[in-house]
Amino acid sequence: MKFSKRALAVKPSATVKVSNLAKQMKADGIDVINLGIGEPDFETPDFIDQAAIEAIKSGKTSFYTPASGIYELKEAVSQRIKEDFDVFYSPDNISITNGAKMALYVLMQALVNENDEVLIPQPGWVSYEQQIVLASAKPVMVKTNGEFKVTIDSLNAVTTKNTRVLVINSPQNPTGTIYTKDELTEIGNWAIMHNVLIIADDIYSSLVYNGNQYTSLIQLDDNIVAQTILVSGLSKAYSMTGWRVGYVAGAPEIISKVNAILSHSTGNPAAVSQYAGIAALTGDQSVVEEMRLAFEDRLNKVFPLLAEVPGFKLQTKPQGAFYLFPNVEEAVRIAGLSNSGELVEELLQKAHVAVVDGAAFGMPGYLRLSYAASLDNLIDAVTRIKNYMLSVN
């Protein structure tokens, strides 16, 4: 069989693979705790479900919506951005996509060509690199400092005349790092100077803990905003991963290309999901705060427990998102293994805990644990990991 170069180059998602393996073990009757995937464990709030049910009952399902989403949802996104960040995007400059993942995919399709380079901070979310490969462009990894942040020096070190786009994800998956306003301003000015577009992946912006301050690139001065394309979505804030509602907001000429690509690819995000999305964005926002508080509580309880596991070193305390990213080089050595991928296998097979190898995020020697799981499960999982480490010590 002959395949395209893109299909031959693309690698399947490591997070999805681990999660599927854990789900299979569970189906086989093994008591596995899955900390492998970034999926809030809460039910979607009831008023959002009800809006979707109403949309079904009132027959809003038998037609295509505009490919870039219904106008009412764009208005709801615009209003939410205004309320949360005090920044105005016209609904016309917003596209609704099948999750933020599709937003990022379509943007790569819209923005880059074969020799173009896209900068991805390491560690970075698993799909950025593969989406760039699927756009036939070149992913370029940017080294980060001890706080997992890019600096102007690290950006300069890899920038060439072909650099077109930089992806900034704050709060960051997998580390929970948040860039400060000053850091973002520096990066924004750097991007202007080098004529590099920034994709601001703000999907975790509502999940910020322990009084940490959050600033989005879209809140900086107009020149930086003009250089920035916002990507976000409803999956994490409203526990709506399965509904697949995300969005892009940016300059009209970019949105128009995104819309053209969407019109020939996804058609439209599911109509029912879009009506659910309107309810989520315009309804009672206390549900977002309730989930945020639950994640914060878990972080504060699990972080010190994980820090006690032999060979696990937590470089920073996460400030947002819902992941822990310990360095496990010492744990790998203690267990007599050769890399963090083998530790992932061991933890799955012997401790029955599913986590993801940092290598999937460009940082071998680390593990990613999601704390989007109940506190009982989290404590149980960390105890299992600790017992495994004690057994090999």
Could you tell me the CA-to-CA distances from 166 to 109, 118, 132, 227 in Å, in that order?
A: 15, 6, 11, 10
Candidates 44, 169, 273, 370; binder of ligand PLP (CB under 6 A) is: 169
Candidates 34, 68, 163, 173; binder of ligand PLP (CB under 6 A) is: 173
C-beta of 62: minimal distance to ligand PLP in Å? 26
Q: Does 206 interact with ligand PLP (rule: CB under 6 A)?
A: no
Candidates 48, 77, 100, 249; binder of ligand PLP (CB under 6 A) is: 100
Q: Does 203 interact with ligand PLP (rule: CB under 6 A)?
A: yes
Structure tokens at 363: 């940082």
DSSP 17: H
244 SS3 class: coil
Candidates 105, 125, 322, 371; binder of ligand PLP (CB under 6 A) is: 125
Candidates 38, 269, 277, 320; binder of ligand PLP (CB under 6 A) is: 38
Structure tokens at 272: 């029912």
CA 91 to CA 166: how far, in whole Å? 25
Using CB under 6 A, count the residues that bind ligand PLP. Answer: 13
Provide the mask over 136-155, with x wherever binding to ligand PLP is found by CB under 6 A and - wherever it is not: --------------------
Stretch 219-248 residues interacting with ligand PLP (CB under 6 A): 233, 235, 241, 246
Q: Does 201 interact with ligand PLP (rule: CB under 6 A)?
A: yes
Helix axes 286-307, 375-392, angle to 10 degrees: 20
CB of 10 within 8 A of CB of 134? Answer: yes
Question: In sequence order, which residues have a C-beta less than 8 Å from that of residue 286 and are 6 or more positions away?
Answer: none
Structure tokens at 91: 């609904």
For ligand PLP, which is the closer residue by CB, 171 or 341? 171
199 SS3 class: strand
Query: Which residues here bind ligand PLP, judged by CB under 6 A?
Result: 38, 99-101, 125, 169, 173, 201, 203, 233, 235, 241, 246
